[in-house]
Amino acid sequence: MLKQNPHDVQPSTLAEAAEWFAILGSGQVSKSETEQWQAWLHAHPDHQAAWTKVEFFTHKFQDLPSHAASEALNQPDLYRRHTLKTLAVLAAIGLSSWQISRGRYIQGWTADYQTALGATKTITLADGSKVTLDTDSALNIQFTSELRRLQLVSGEIYIETAPDTARPSRPFVVDTQEGRVRALGTRFSVRQQAGNSQVTVYADAVEIQPAKSATSKLILKAGQTTYFTPERIDSVAAMNTDHPAWTQGILLADNLPLSEFLLQLNRYRHGYITCDPRIADLRIVGAFPLNNTDRILASLTETLPVTIDKPLPFWVKVLPR
């Protein structure tokens, strides 16, 4: 099941960041709103952390489907300026996170394997191992005489490793921005997030090595999950699933705050989903089929005291009822 990331900020702060991101990307930003956003951003370190996370999960709004691009051309005041305006605002502020994200996007465009928004893909590697890419993911593969290496550029992958037929046997590793995960004959998933990586093991074990810590290693066993940064590995939590839910087309919520749930859902659909900070901490429990994200949003109104509003065609707001 999904677990709360220990690096998460408060749900209400995350909701505020998502709201600001949607406002700045709407193409209808006043000077006053820009100044208010700057003041909010620098008011507390948690605001910047929330902004980085929301930006990480919502960058795919730039890649609208063809019918949306057509709408943009037909409604210039509403859409045509939103990308340039967002870029201009962020460039003026000089956010390092935006610079990092731009580099990540370029890497994603040129990666060996990619998945579109809402799509998954399974590939079989030269050694017989299988890798499944989640929505909006990018992956590079490098097999040499000494190493079987995957580089996770963005998103999430689920791996079923196969014994190496080469002699001597080559280690199987996954590199993220935060460090290296080495497979020890296993099934596991790795997820690249904003500022940390998540690893979950479903069979056997893996070894985690943060990039900037030569001594901090951890053997993660089946039924366990953790997060790590370049400097450290967080505490281990228990898991009780055999596969990632998304490989079965399901979004699992295990007591998730509404703001976090919507951020996860946003990975599988175009546009923005935000919620009012007053309801950001409402809890979500359940299994939600990802083949109809509109139906998921509608179900929220059936089980929670919320209503759905659409200020713009690609901006959904969840509000108190």
At 4 the three-state DSSP class reads coil
Domain span including residue 148: 121-238
Q: If you ran DSSP here, which 8-state letter would residue 193 be given?
A: -
Within-domain flag for 220: yes
pLDDT of 277 > 60? The answer is yes
Within-domain flag for 62: yes
The CATH code of the domain that includes 188 is 2.60.120.1440
238, 267, 292 — which closes off a domain? 238
| DSSP strand pairing (113-114 vs 272-275) | unpaired
203, 238, 273 — which closes off a domain? 238
* pLDDT for the residue numbered 238: 94
Same domain, 222 and 280: no
pLDDT of 4 > 50? The answer is no
In the chain the first and final C-alpha atoms are separated, in Å, by 29
- Number of CB atoms found within 10 A of residue 199's CB: 23
Residue 221, both tokens = 């066993």
Same domain, 56 and 131: no
List, in order, residues 6 or more apart from 36 with CB less than 8 Å away: none
Number of domains making up the chain: 2
Same domain, 134 and 231: yes
Same domain, 83 and 174: no
What average pLDDT does the chain have? 82
Same domain, 148 and 83: no
Residue (of 14, 57, 70, 113) closest to 270 by Cα position: 57
* pLDDT for the residue numbered 216: 86
Q: If you ran DSSP here, which 8-state letter would residue 78 be given?
A: I
pLDDT tier, 303 (very low <50, low <70, confident <90, very high otherwise):
very high
Tens of pLDDT, residue by residue over 75-123, are 444 333 444 344 333 333 333 333 334 444 445 567 999 999 889 999 9
Torsion sign across C-alpha atoms 29, 31, 35, 36: negative
249: left (phi over 0), alpha (psi -120 to 50) or beta: left
